[in-house]
Amino acid sequence: MNQQPNNPLHGVTLAAILDHLVATLGWEAMAKAVPVNCFLIEPSITSSLKFLRRVPWARAKVEQLYVRTLAKPKH
């Protein structure tokens, strides 16, 4: 039974969020939305995961960005 049916982040890993954002927006747009070095300088999933797991405010911004990309209508 799904205990959080209205939570778009429930059951989604940080790695899956980053994969989705890179595929949907790309590193440059991600860096504009969340200006952190792991998106600006030699971006990679690995370095981003390490940083975001240590910095709660940055992770929260990335999660908000992910939710906003889910809310956008697809063309």
Q: Which domain holds residue 39?
A: 24-70
Let me know if residue 18 belongs to a domain: no
φ/ψ bin of 2: left (φ > 0), alpha (ψ from -120 to 50), beta (otherwise): beta
Let me know if residue 8 belongs to a domain: no
Q: What is the pLDDT of residues 29-75, one digit of tens each?
A: 999 999 999 999 999 999 999 999 999 999 999 999 999 998 876 65
CATH code (residue 50):
1.10.720.30
Let me know if residue 35 belongs to a domain: yes
Would you say the C-alpha torsion 19, 59, 8, 1 has a positive or negative sign?
positive
Q: What is the DSSP letter of 41?
A: S
Let me know if residue 33 belongs to a domain: yes
Predicted TM-score (pTM) of the model is 0.85
Let me know if residue 66 belongs to a domain: yes
Considering its fold, how many domains does the chain have in total? 1
